[in-house]
């Protein structure tokens, strides 16, 4: 038993399933998870000393790569002055100014400590601002593990929310409606029937938690138009897409401005962070100005703020999004071509620096219901073949991959060549 396996065996005794987040457990692909001990650039090293070319990037925040020198320096400088204050600090103001200047249509943000917390708070704000209880979400979109949103669709086009986890009272999800993605008629019909009861419609404008389910701009525009007619708020969950697919996220890329937005991942540069924002009139409903309560001891943590600021500084200075788009185009030309010519059904789906290998025939799926279960079995074999050859991708057929500024064209070519070899076998 190597050191990696020994540590995970100990983890199984003290952590449920041996992990602190379920997808890390390798249950979807089988085998023993990697226990990582260090990472730098585009490489990670496990406890047994094995190196891997990494396309997980801690699930998205490491847009500059692991342990970027300027981010590490900013964190160390901040830590030397104190790790938390529980009071305002200058860097939270600077980060807020940077986020607001980049993202269309928002006047203020509030920082929190996770994407789940950001979405939970945005939903509460939407309800408080509108005086309504109803929420509409879409199957295949993940908005964190808060009770009201951890629901799945039933058999109809629109259903009452059914909890998809034990421990959630049915009454908690009763006001939640679940629709399929890419169905303009369903959302239009629901809002025209129940619009007076709907506080908000929430969507990942680039759904990236159930495969990469790229949406038509016309569908997103329908959401914008119909929520306005109903007096409901449109919330973009940009925890993954924010500051990754463009400086102004999906709102900039698709030219559609939501009422509220949630952030995470990139704006913390690898430290725990989240934020939600919107117009000043909506944000004024938050305490201490308004009646919607939200608080957090570590909100605006000085280390996280420094890390996020350093990350955004490098992206702006080095034309990061342009570089990432060029890397993405090279991924299309290499890995995309390999998948297209594969003897098994496969295709590359990409938006900016986010990509997904869809291992099923036919057009790229736009809804969770269009994903075939058999594709997950094929993915498991591909995953282990890549891991054996020193490439780390997500341990789930439904999770996406991420490029970073630390990746080179040669790294992408290595990924493509290894995938080609694996699919041939």
Per cent of the chain over pLDDT 70 is 96
The pLDDT confidence band at residue 231, using thresholds 50, 70 and 90, is very high
The share of the chain scoring above pLDDT 90, in percent, equals 85
Specify the pLDDT at position 162. Answer: 52
Question: Is 118 in contact with 283 (CB distance < 8 Å)?
Answer: no
- In this structure, the dihedral spanned by the alpha carbons of residues 101, 105, 107 and 111, taken in order and rounded to 10 degrees, is -80
Q: What is the CATH number of domain 69-317?
A: 3.40.640.10
- Write out pLDDT tens, residues 109-156: 999 999 999 999 999 999 999 999 999 999 989 998 887 776 653 223
Position of tokens 């990509």?
355
pLDDT digits (tens, 9 = 90+) for 78-96: 999 999 999 999 999 999 9
Does the fold of domain 69-317 match that of domain 3-67+319-424?
no
- The C-alpha angle with vertex 260 and arms to 258 and 266, in degrees rounded to 5, equals 95
* Extents of the domains making up the chain: 3-67+319-424, 69-317
326-365: per-residue pLDDT in tens?
999 999 999 999 999 998 899 999 999 999 999 988 888 9
347-351 vs 108-112, strand pairing mode: unpaired
pLDDT level of residue 201 (50, 70, 90 thresholds): very high
User: What is the rounded distance in angstroms from the CA atom of residue 95 to the CA atom of residue 111?
Assistant: 9
Give the pLDDT confidence score for residue 377 in this predicted structure.
83
- Nearest-angstrom CA–CA distance, 131 and 127: 6
Helix 69-79 × helix 302-317 angle, to 10°: 150
- Mean pLDDT confidence for 264-269: 97
- pLDDT on residue 158: 37
> At which residue do the structure tokens 């983890």 appear?
11
Q: Would you say 78 and 84 are in contact if contact means Cβ atoms under 8 Å apart?
A: no
Q: Which of 103, 356, 124, 357 is nearest to 251 (CA)?
A: 103
Active site residues: 142, 237, 265
**Which three-class secondary structure state does DSSP give residue 112?**
strand
Q: Which two tokens stand for residue 245?
A: 């697919």
pTM, rounded to two decimals: 0.94
Average pLDDT, rounded, for the chain: 93
User: Residue 160 pLDDT > 50, yes or no?
Assistant: no
Rg over alpha carbons for the chain, rounded to the nearest Å, is 21
Mean pLDDT on 52-57: 98
313 vs 71: CA distance, rounded Å: 10
Domain covering 3-67+319-424 assigned CATH 3.40.47.10 in the classification: no
Residues 252-264 pLDDT 10s: 999 999 999 999 9
Sign of the four-CA dihedral 180, 181, 187, 189: negative
The answer on pLDDT for 61 being more than 60 is yes
């Amino acid at each position: 038993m190597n050191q990696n396996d020994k540590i995970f065996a100990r983890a199984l005794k003290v952590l449920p399933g041996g992990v602190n987040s379920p997808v890390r457990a390798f249950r979807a692909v089988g085998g023993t998870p990697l226990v990582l001990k260090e990472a730098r650039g585009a490489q990670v090293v496990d406890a047994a000393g094995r190196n891997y070319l990494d396309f997980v990037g801690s699930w998205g925040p490491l847009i500059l790569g692991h342990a970027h020198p300027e981010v590490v320096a900013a964190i160390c400088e901040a830590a030397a002055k104190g790790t938390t204050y529980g009071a305002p600090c200058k860097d939270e103001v600077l980060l807020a100014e940077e986020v607001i200047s980049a993202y269309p249509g928002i006047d203020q943000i509030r920082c929190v400590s996770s994407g789940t917390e950001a979405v939970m708070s945005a939903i509460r704000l939407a309800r408080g601002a509108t005086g309504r209880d109803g929420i509409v979400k879409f199957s295949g979109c993940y908005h964190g593990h808060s009770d009201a949103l951890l629901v799945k669709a039933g058999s109809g086009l629109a259903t009452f929310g059914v909890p998809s986890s034990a421990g959630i009272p049915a009454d908690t999800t009763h006001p939640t409606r679940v629709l399929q993605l890419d169905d303009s008629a369903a959302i239009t019909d629901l809002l025209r029937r129940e619009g007076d009861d709907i506080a908000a419609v929430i969507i990942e404008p680039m759904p990236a938690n159930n495969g990469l389910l790229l949406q038509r701009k016309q569908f997103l525009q329908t959401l914008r138009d119909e929520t306005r007619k109903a007096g409901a708020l449109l919330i973009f969950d940009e925890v993954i897409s924010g500051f990754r697919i463009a400086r102004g996220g999906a709102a900039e890329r698709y030219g559609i401005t939501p009422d509220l937005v949630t952030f995470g991942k990139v704006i913390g540069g690898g430290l725990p962070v989240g934020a939600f924002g919107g117009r000043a009139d909506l944000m004024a409903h938050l305490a201490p100005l308004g009646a919607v309560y939200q608080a957090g001891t570590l909100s605006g943590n000085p280390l996280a703020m420094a890390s996020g600021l350093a990350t955004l500084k490098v992206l702006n200075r080095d034309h990061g999004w342009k570089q990432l788009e060029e890397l993405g185009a090279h991924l299309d030309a290499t890995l995309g071509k390999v998948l297209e010519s594969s003897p098994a059904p496969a295709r590359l789906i990409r938006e900016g620096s986010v990509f997904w290998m869809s291992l099923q025939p036919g057009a790229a799926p736009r809804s969770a219901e269009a994903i075939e279960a058999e594709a997950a079995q094929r993915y498991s074999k591909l995953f282990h073949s890549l891991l054996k050859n020193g490439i780390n991708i997500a341990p789930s057929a439904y999770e996406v991959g991420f490029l970073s500024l630390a990746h080179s064209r040669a790294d992408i070519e290595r990924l493509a060549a290894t995938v080609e070899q694996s699919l041939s076998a």
